[in-house]
Amino acid sequence: MKRIIYIATLILLPWVAFAQSEQKHSRIEKNLSIYNDILRLLDIMYVDTLNYDKLMTTSINSCLNSLDPYTVYIPEEDTEDLTFMTTGTYGGIGALIVQRDEDVMISEPYEGMPAQKAGLKAGDLLLKIDGESARGKSTAEVSAMLRGVPHDKISIVVKRPGEKKNLTFEFEREKIQINPVSYVGCVAPGIGYIKLTEFTENAASEFKNGVKDMVNQDQINSLIIDLRDNGGGIIEEAVKILSMFVPKGTEVVSTKGKIPQVETSYKTLTDPLFPDMKVAVLVNRFSASAAEIVAGVFQDLDHGVLIGERTFGKGLVQNIRPLSYGGNLKLTTAKYYIPSGRCIQAIDYSHRNEDGSVGRVPDSLTTVFLTKRGREVRDGGGVSPDIEVKQPEGINICYYLFVENMFFDYATEYCQRHPSIAPAQEFTLTDEDFADFEAFLTKKEFTYQTQTASYLESLKDLIKFEQLDSIAANELKALEEKIKPNISEELKRNRKEIEEMLGSEIIKRYYYQKGDIIYTLRTNKDFSEAKELLNDEKRYKKILNMN
């Protein structure tokens, strides 16, 4: 009897699968028919003229937004942005721009690129580009105006703080290749440092050249790999970098999805160049995707020590598929798994709350996995460091100074008065500089309302609504005075952090990104922890279970 039931079940299964497939296609056809009817009625009867391209793009984007943030439609006109995402290359002037009120200004020209070589500076307000006004436009619109074919001439008119007349710059656009390795240097006897900002094309070759130079010139035997704020990129570049450290043929990452075509196993293809190199990897909450994979592989294979904060938790794979009329769809097709078997994805987009929101996987629902030498690690929440470095929590006056552009504007004025400054590794702000900054804030009439004060205003409205204001008036007034910021006192209390942030903004004006890295590393806790660890052989081996 059991055998008969078993055979009957086997016969029934294909029919169940077929029925489910038919039901799915029926639902798709039904909803497409409804959608088509809605569009036809809008076209015929809607009171105003419709922008069909905008309507359809909004519809597509709304649909994709309900899935995850990484599945996106890229229309034909944005193909250049797609090229930049994967290669780090575009035709333009090589400068960061930011919105300032109704206008757009240069925030940072890249060293050695057309804007910097032509003389454009941070703080320059963009007025005209090739004769067309840039005023009142968004950063996206201005960015499109600045980009173009390499070697085409461009004319830019700017208003520069401190200059009475507008300035005109004429030069050629160039092919802008952003180097994914922003800094390489020997930071202590035997210890090298390399900052990798993204995993675009050539990231692995730039990484290899940087490390080889330090090995040959400085005889380093230890390496700090800085992956903080690295948002990821091309997985193949990450695998190439891992191949420089771990044995040939090692599986470092695999992908699993709905269909077999997206399931892949990535193994190292070459013999390692630096197999005996001691490694410390710096990570933070903004290290994502390929950066997390590299960090996670070093951890899972017990080949390096992770230092910093828990990473972002993006373990989703995106593929780009061409669409008709020149568009593209970047869609999530699988999840990444690293050698211990864990997935680093921290957010479950497939199970949303009733309000559409999503949350991180609770620690209580994560699973324990083991590294190569038996250390416990967990899935479902990014990659946790072996050495956690606590970061300051909460906000203080520095936050308000930053969002109100006080650091940026003071640095602009500072550069007008100081043609040169000490090298990045030596530069410090003096007492006179700090006093001058405080005077600058007074001149700008800088003030701010704390988040606490904002909530107090809401509380006062509620108290008044409930007619309790008369009995609570004295207490409210006393609290209001208590939390009112004293700018001078707050500046003194947070002087160290203010000097670090202000000094960083000033350094960038003279020594650009490399100088800023040199300057900030001087006081960075993650970096200091890494140097101490790599100088302590016994502790390094203990963390990795090498004893």
- Please list the active-site residues: 289, 300, 314
- In this structure, are residues 295 and 384 in contact, taking their beta carbons and an 8 Å threshold? no
Residue 499 DSSP class: H
Q: String of b and e for 391-429 (b: at least 16 CB within 10 Å)?
A: eeeeeebbebbeeebbbbbbbbbbbeeeeebeebeebeb
At 370 the three-state DSSP class reads strand
- Give residue for tokens 């929590």: 393
Angular region, 61: left φ>0, alpha ψ -120 to 50, beta rest = alpha
Residue type at 475 in one-letter notation: E
Q: String of b and e for 178-208 (b: at least 16 CB within 10 Å)?
A: bbbbbbbbebbebbbbbbbbbbbbbbbebbb
How is residue 337 written in tokens?
């798994």
How is residue 484 written in tokens?
């009112």
CB proximity list for 257: less than 8 A, separation 6 or greater: 263, 317, 333, 334, 335
- In this structure, are residues 446 and 398 in contact, taking their beta carbons and an 8 Å threshold? no
N- to C-terminal Cα distance for the chain? 60
- Give residue for tokens 């401190």: 162
Cα(211)–Cα(528) distance, rounded to whole angstroms?
20
Residue 374 DSSP class: S
Pairing of the two strands 387-388 and 222-226? unpaired
- In this structure, are residues 245 and 274 in contact, taking their beta carbons and an 8 Å threshold? yes
- In this structure, are residues 263 and 334 in contact, taking their beta carbons and an 8 Å threshold? yes
Please, how many CA atoms are within 13 Å of residue 512, restricted to the half-sphere of its CB?
15
How is residue 318 written in tokens?
């995106």
Residue 136 host element (H or E): none
